[in-house]
Structure 1
Amino acid sequence: MKQPDFFDVEERLTRLSGLGNQLETCFRTVNFEAFRTDLDKNLAYSDRSKGGRPPFDPVLMFKILVIQTLNNLSDDRTEYLINDRLSFMRFLGLGHSDRVPNAKTIWLFRERLTEAGAIQQLFERFDATLRNAGYLPMSGQILDATLVAAPKQRNTNGEKEDLREGRIPQDWQDKPAKLSHKDRHARWTLKFTKAKRQDDGTLPATDLAIPFFGYKSHVSIDRKFRLIRKWKTTDAAVSDGARLREDLLDKTNTASTVWADTAYRSKANEDFMEKEGFVSKVHTKKPHLKPMPRHIQRSNAGKSVIRSRVEHVFADQKSQTGLFVRTVGITRATMRIGLANIVYNMRRFLFLEKLNAGT
């Protein structure tokens, strides 16, 4: 069997480029060095005055998290594919003889960033890169939230009551191994979906309410470029409306208009937006036990044309990156969702740059 030489590898990499390697485009377009300052500050590695093996380059490790998020990979699978795929090695700048981080090293790196709460700084760092490239928040903003599933917990009614009250169940306190596997922050809620047609072609009288366990990803995107500008992670049972006032409104947008569905319609939110100078395009709720007036139907339909654009963000995240929380606790869930938001903005940035280049 012929052993591959240098020219064989180069030929294969050239062929990958011709097939449209997204990682190669990402490497050429995104300046990953911009993250170095924030990574160094949050990792706080020692000066190695006492010796020991030097840590892997933090930018290299962050790029591994990007690969992992982009392809929905576990730590073990990530380690394997870095060793196996030429495209991954080229993106990371690794040669065939270079040392590759193992699964434990990847886990420790992500944990260190998670404990430092670095994900918001990293998101804002890339948002600054987008703004410097000319992608300013423009034409108003669109708010929405999506449920993100987490591994279901099997707890007793008493344990659920303790968790709702913010207490650690008594039976867990002297069992650290059990406690470490219990997610005390994810919550159950009902997910309402459109009912499917029955065999006779009719629809049930009400939508379906499906129990759901996990977290909720709240985002605000700008209407012009559809980039995520603000975001927040909460448990699944949190109301969407309160996030409008507390976390999501972006005052740097060049337009004051705000689009959102009826979950964000409340007197408190309308008063807040009017006071802060925002123009509300939030959907109007149907009157209780009364038919929806025709003029409100037309108004909501017009708003939906614009508001629906935020649904494409969630669809992209769930189809392309398999957005799902496999970890325990809201701190790690925030890291997972934050990485998904950064990777979405990177992919959107690549698309916008390609569009502007006319290719």
Structure 2
Amino acid sequence: MKQADCFDVEERLARLSGLGDQLEVFSRTVDFEVFRPDLELALAYSDGNKGGRPPFDPVLMFKILVIQTLNNLSDERTEYLVNDRLSFMRFLGLALSDRVPDAKTVWLFRERLTQAGAIERLFDRFDATLRNAGYLLMSGQILDATLVAAPKQRNTNGEKVDLREGRIPQDWQDKPAKLSHKDRHARWTLKFTKAKRQEDGTLPATDLAIAFFGYKSHVSIDRKFRLIRKWKATDAAASDGARLREGLLDKTNTASSVWADTAYRSKANEDFMDKEGFVSKVHRKKPHLKPMPRHIQRSNAGKSVIRSRVEHVFADQKSQTGLFVRTVGINRATMRIGLANIVYNMRGFLFLERWRDRRTLD
């Protein structure tokens, strides 16, 4: 069997480029070095005076998290594919002979960032990159939330009562190993969905209510570029509307209009937006036991044309990156959702830059 040499590798990489290697485009478009200061601050590695094997480069490790998020990979699968795929190696700047981080190293790196609460700073760092590239907030913003599934918990009724009241069940306290696998922050909620038409062509009288367990991702996107500008992670049972007053609105957006569905319509929110100088474009609710006035129907329909743009964000995240929380606890869920939001913005940045280049050529 012929031994592979550097020329064979270069030829294979050139072929991957010709086939459209997305990660190669990431490397050309996104300057990952901008994340280094925040990564080094969060990791707080020693200076190496005490000896020992030096840690992997933090930017390389962060790029591994990007690969993992893009492809919805577990830590073990990430380790295997980084060793197996030339496109992954090129993206990370690794040669065939270089040492590759194992699954435990990837987990420890992500855990260290999680404990340091670094994901918000990393998100803001890339948002600054977007602004410096000219993608400014000048067209208003759209708010919405989506449910993010997590592994279901099988708890007794007594354990559920303890969790709702903020207590750790006694049985879990006596068994640390069991406690470490119990998610005390994820919650059950009901997800309402439109009922499907039956075989005889009729529709059920009510929508379907599906039990759902996990977390919720709240986002605010800018109207023009559809990039995520503000976000927050909560348990699945948290109210959508209450998040509006918890930093989800971006005051730097020079256009004051705010679009959202009826879940965000409340007197408290309307008063808050009026006080902060925002113009509410939030859908109005149907009057109780009364038909919806025609003028409100027309107004809501016009708002929906704009508000629906946020649905594409969630559809992209779930179809392209398989947004799902494999971990335990709100801090790790926040890390997972935050990474998904950064990667979504990176992919959006690639699209916008490609569109800008095309317009320049025209």
TM over 0.5, yes or no? Answer: yes
* Native 8 Å contact 1:138 1:225 kept in 2: no
Which residue does the alignment assign to 1:305? 305
Which residue does the alignment assign to 2:56? 56
The yes-or-no answer on 1:172 pairing with 2:172 is yes
Code of the residue aligned with 1:110 in structure 2: it is: R
Aligned runs of 1:177-256 on 2, under 5 Å? Answer: 177-256=177-256
Which residue does the alignment assign to 1:42? 42
The yes-or-no answer on 1:336 pairing with 2:341 is no
* Native 8 Å contact 1:143 1:310 kept in 2: yes
Aligned runs of 1:26-41 on 2, under 5 Å? Answer: 26-41=26-41
Code of the residue aligned with 2:356 in structure 1: it is: N
Alignment size in residue pairs: 359
Code of the residue aligned with 2:219 in structure 1: it is: V
Code of the residue aligned with 1:118 in structure 2: it is: A
Distance in 1 (CA, whole Å) between partners of 2:7 and 2:170 is 64
The yes-or-no answer on 1:142 pairing with 2:142 is yes
The yes-or-no answer on 1:119 pairing with 2:119 is yes
CA-to-partner distance for each residue in 1:108-127, whole Å, 9 max, x for gaps?
A: 00000000000000000000
Which residue does the alignment assign to 2:67? 67
Which residue does the alignment assign to 2:316? 316
Code of the residue aligned with 2:196 in structure 1: it is: K
Structure 1 residue 301, shift from structure 2 partner: 0.7
Distance in 2 (CA, whole Å) between partners of 1:58 and 1:42 is 10
Distance in 2 (CA, whole Å) between partners of 1:238 and 1:253 is 26
Distance in 2 (CA, whole Å) between partners of 1:250 and 1:60 is 31
* Native 8 Å contact 1:219 1:229 kept in 2: yes
Distance in 2 (CA, whole Å) between partners of 1:20 and 1:224 is 27
Which residue does the alignment assign to 2:325? 325
Code of the residue aligned with 2:43 in structure 1: it is: L
RMSD of aligned alpha carbons: 0.8
CA-to-partner distance for each residue in 1:157-197, whole Å, 9 max, x for gaps?
A: 11111101100011111110110010000000000001000
Distance in 2 (CA, whole Å) between partners of 1:193 and 1:297 is 21
Moved over 6 A (4+): none
Structure 1 residue 79, shift from structure 2 partner: 0.6
Percent identical pairs in the alignment equals 88
Structure 1 residue 2, shift from structure 2 partner: 2.0
* TM-score with structure 1 setting the length: 0.99
* TM-score with structure 2 setting the length: 0.98
Distance in 2 (CA, whole Å) between partners of 1:330 and 1:248 is 18
Distance in 2 (CA, whole Å) between partners of 1:5 and 1:158 is 63
Distance in 2 (CA, whole Å) between partners of 1:51 and 1:10 is 36
CA-to-partner distance for each residue in 1:41-67, whole Å, 9 max, x for gaps?
A: 000001111100000000000000000
SS of alignment partner, residue 166 of structure 1: coil
Code of the residue aligned with 2:265 in structure 1: it is: R
Distance in 2 (CA, whole Å) between partners of 1:16 and 1:171 is 54
User: What are the ranges of 5 or more consecutive residues in structure 2 without an aligned counterpart?
Assistant: none
Distance in 2 (CA, whole Å) between partners of 1:302 and 1:202 is 29
Distance in 2 (CA, whole Å) between partners of 1:156 and 1:107 is 30
Which residue does the alignment assign to 1:358? 358
Distance in 2 (CA, whole Å) between partners of 1:322 and 1:10 is 32
Distance in 1 (CA, whole Å) between partners of 2:341 and 2:129 is 15
SS of alignment partner, residue 138 of structure 1: coil
